[in-house]
Amino acid sequence: MVTELMQQGMTAVEEKLESVVASDIQLLEDASLHIVTSGGKRVRPRVVLLAYLAAGGQDLDSVIPMAAAVEMVHTATLVHDDINDHSLTRRGKVTVHARWGRTFALLTGDYLFTKVYELMAPYGVEPNVMIATACTRLVEGETLQAAAAKSGSMDRETYKQIISLKTASLFEASAKLGAWLAGGSPEIVEAMGTYAYNLGLTFQIVDDILDIIGDPEAMGKPVGLDLSQGRGVLSVAQNGGAGDEEGVTAVAELEEPDPIKQMLAGLRNSGAVEIARLQAEETGSRARRALDKIPPSPARDELVNLIEAVLNRDH
Amino acid sequence: MVTELMQQGMTAVEEKLESVVASDIQLLEDASLHIVTSGGKRVRPRVVLLAYLAAGGQDLDSVIPMAAAVEMVHTATLVHDDINDHSLTRRGKVTVHARWGRTFALLTGDYLFTKVYELMAPYGVEPNVMIATACTRLVEGETLQAAAAKSGSMDRETYKQIISLKTASLFEASAKLGAWLAGGSPEIVEAMGTYAYNLGLTFQIVDDILDIIGDPEAMGKPVGLDLSQGRGVLSVAQNGGAGDEEGVTAVAELEEPDPIKQMLAGLRNSGAVEIARLQAEETGSRARRALDKIPPSPARDELVNLIEAVLNRDH
């Protein structure tokens, strides 16, 4: 029953994502549809819908624009990230930046941000405050990441702050939005937020692990990209204890013949991935414990399953 | 009385603009303050405040965040525009892009957009729908402009569509927001929107004229910038009748020694500026007529004065 509802809901989210980017300016519509229809895991809108159902929501239609909005925030940032990272592929397709050029990619990202606004405006004050806060944190996280990568000052504390701001905050908002719209009590909304915040941390740590050990074909993008830009799970390795630190330092000094490949190999052998994996398991457990405060339901079971899916994904 | 109120109000808007960009991420706060405190004409927030007062609003404090929000939309787009235009100076200061680099300028623009959201969220559904619509149109206008400049397909109709979308829509929203918050009737809100829409057209046409004939020192930026990028009032000249068309075509073919200077000189002599000036007077008159539907008040007088100020500005 929940599975069927969720399938209908996620289909409606896809349709909303596609219809809302319609524009008289053909280029904006084309570029928006290019990224919007390129797949993606859709974890955030799934969290919105499941949180809504688990908090007792009865009218799934009412939550669709909200679920589309959080995915749109994520999508807008992807388009801008790809400009800053000079990325040529994303989800196995050419990036907006590579296809339409930097100027139009920048404008397409801005356009998608305005669509977040359009989708959220009808929900009134509290949901808009929630998503505004999440959007601010997300940009702060992206900026901290770029600054730390540039200055080479990435350490474990900074890494935690980055993934909290850039990923966990939007996950948190997704669940709180769904639970709030369902009329959940402040305690339920808060517990749902704690669940999704930790799910977001888990998701990002796994993402950074996959950047090191992932299969480029399954990922739809090159591995080592984050690493090559001074980001991601490297920081965990750099601070993973004396043994690991030496291992990584030694590898980092090897600049020939391909420093990224060398660093990837070094990291794979340094124990860094295993440490990061343990951290992901830990944040996953926290997410699971937060659900204890939510009454049992098939939707809650799905929220539990989502933790497993995030932990075990290969792309 | 209105003058004093407006001075207090505009000071409060400045304070709000500065306080809302505070961030734990120092770079974002620094870059945001750099552009936010660089002056600017503040026409849009002035329109919000005056429309609020002219529609009978009594509590100017309540409209300050809204006025700051519309200026923030404009400011965010300036930061992104400067990336796309490779501009090095803005308002007589170095641009965010020139000082912090492209990546951080892109993120700073995004950050400022999230602050629009934060400032507007407390106002509820209708104002947020209005500003979301204006933001979408603004980005559509910027995109149309970039596409037309790139393809060389700028004609008079496209120019009108561009300035309507990229400038007049946000002016329109500014006045409607103020009038709506004051509790103005739908007729008052609509009339105020028509006023500001035409004020916005006037503002942009004058802006494009100043790009051709302005004093670079008064402007705080180089003249001929828009022209050099295939935008602005050039289009008016290109379609300004057979005589003008020939004039511009002849000039455009002169590519040596400095094509921009040659085109500027040609445009100054082509009658294009005079045609554009007439159009600005016409849209200014429309703005004035729209105010006939607003009850007389000192604030309405100020809205009339604003048309004159926009028409007669030299920067």
What is the tens place of the pLDDT at every residue in A42-94?
999 999 999 999 999 999 999 999 999 999 999 999 999 999 989 898 888 99
Backbone angles phi, psi at A183, to 5 degrees: 80, 20
Least confident piece of the model among A12-16, B41-45, B249-253, B298-302: B249-253
Residue among A113, A21, A160, A173 at smallest CA distance from B106: A113
Q: What is the pLDDT of residue A217?
A: 67
If you average pLDDT over every residue of chain A, what do you get? 88
Q: Which residue is listed with tokens 């998701």?
A: A203
Q: Are B307 and B202 in contact (CB under 8 A)?
A: yes
Pull the structure tokens for residue A178: 């769904």
Query: Min CA distance, A134 vs chain B (Å)?
Result: 9
A102 contacts B117? CB cut-off 8 A:
no
How sure is the predictor about B223, in pLDDT bands with cuts at 50, 70 and 90?
A: low
Name, in order, each residue with C-beta under 8 angstroms of A93's C-beta and a sequence gap of 6 or more.
Answer: A34, A38, A220
CB pairs under 8 A between A and B: 131
- Does B268 have pLDDT greater than 80? no
- A158 and B CB contact within 8 Å: no
User: What are the structural domains of chain B?
Assistant: 2-312 (1.10.600.10)
Strand partners, A94: A89
A103 contacts B146? CB cut-off 8 A:
yes
Residue among B2, B136, B8 at smallest CA distance from B73: B136
- B38 and A CB contact within 8 Å: no
Residue among A43, A32, A33, A108 at smallest CA distance from A71: A43
B139 contacts A107? CB cut-off 8 A:
yes
The interface residues of chain A toward chain B in range 18-37, judged by CB-CB distance below 8 A, are 23-25, 27-28
A118 chain-B contacts, CB cut-off 8 A: 129, 132-133, 136
Q: How far apart are CA B87 and CA A103, in angstroms?
A: 13
Query: Min CA distance, B39 vs chain A (Å)?
Result: 24
How many beta carbons lie within 10 A of that of residue B241, not counting itself? 12
Residue in chain B lying closest to A102 (CA)? B84
Query: Min CA distance, A91 vs chain B (Å)?
Result: 22
Q: What is the pLDDT of residue A164?
A: 98
- B120 and A CB contact within 8 Å: yes
Residue among B70, B93, B98, B71 at smallest CA distance from B82: B98
Pull the structure tokens for residue A206: 């796994």
Higher pLDDT, A275 or A253: A275
Name, in order, each residue with C-beta under 8 angstroms of B168's C-beta and a sequence gap of 6 or more.
Answer: B196, B197, B198, B200, B201, B204
Pull the structure tokens for residue A296: 């049992």
Q: Quote the ipTM score.
A: 0.89
Selecting from A77, A135, A143 the residue whose C-beta is nearest the C-beta of B27 gives A143
- B144 and A CB contact within 8 Å: yes
A23 chain-B contacts, CB cut-off 8 A: 136, 140
Q: What is the pLDDT of residue A225?
A: 63
Selecting from A28, A125, A146 the residue whose C-beta is nearest the C-beta of B103 gives A146
How sure is the predictor about B108, in pLDDT bands with cuts at 50, 70 and 90?
A: very high
How sure is the predictor about A218, in pLDDT bands with cuts at 50, 70 and 90?
A: low
Residue among B158, B159, B103, B112 at smallest CA distance from B135: B112
Query: Min CA distance, B248 vs chain A (Å)?
Result: 28
Q: What is the pLDDT of residue B225?
A: 63
Per residue in B142-188, pLDDT tens? Answer: 999 999 988 888 888 999 999 999 999 999 999 999 999 999 999 99
**What average pLDDT does the segment B237-259 reach?**
43
The enclosing H or E element of B37 equals none
Q: Are A103 and B146 in contact (CB under 8 A)?
A: yes
- A143 and B CB contact within 8 Å: yes
Query: Which of B70, B100, B103 to substitute to test the interface with A, most A CBs within 10 Å?
Result: B103
Q: How far apart are CA A186 and CA A224, in angstroms?
A: 41
B121 contacts A132? CB cut-off 8 A:
yes
Biggest distance spanned by C-alpha atoms of chain A:
60
- Does B138 have pLDDT greater than 90? yes
B113 contacts A80? CB cut-off 8 A:
no
Tell me how many degrees the CA angle B215-B216-B220 measures, rounded to the nearest 5: 120
A115 contacts B122? CB cut-off 8 A:
no
Q: Are B50 and B303 in contact (CB under 8 A)?
A: yes
A84 contacts B140? CB cut-off 8 A:
no
B131 chain-A contacts, CB cut-off 8 A: 117
- B158 and A CB contact within 8 Å: no
B24 contacts A143? CB cut-off 8 A:
no
How sure is the predictor about A170, in pLDDT bands with cuts at 50, 70 and 90?
A: very high
Residue in chain A lying closest to B24 (CA)? A140
**What average pLDDT does the segment A296-314 reach?**
96
Residue among B81, B153, B69 at smallest CA distance from B113: B69
Q: At what angle do helices A43-54 and A186-213 cross, to 10 degrees?
A: 150
| Amino acid, res. A116 | V
Q: What is the pLDDT of residue A153?
A: 81
Cis omega (within 30 of 0) for bond into B257: yes
How many beta carbons lie within 10 A of that of residue A292, not counting itself? 10
Q: Which residue is listed with tokens 């977001």?
A: A200
| Amino acid, res. A221 | K
A117 chain-B contacts, CB cut-off 8 A: 117, 128, 131-132, 135-136
Q: Hey, what long-range contacts does A18-24 have (CB within 8 A, 24 or more apart)? A: A20/A65, A20/A68, A20/A72, A20/A115, A20/A118, A20/A119, A21/A111, A21/A112, A21/A115, A23/A111, A23/B136, A23/B140, A24/B140
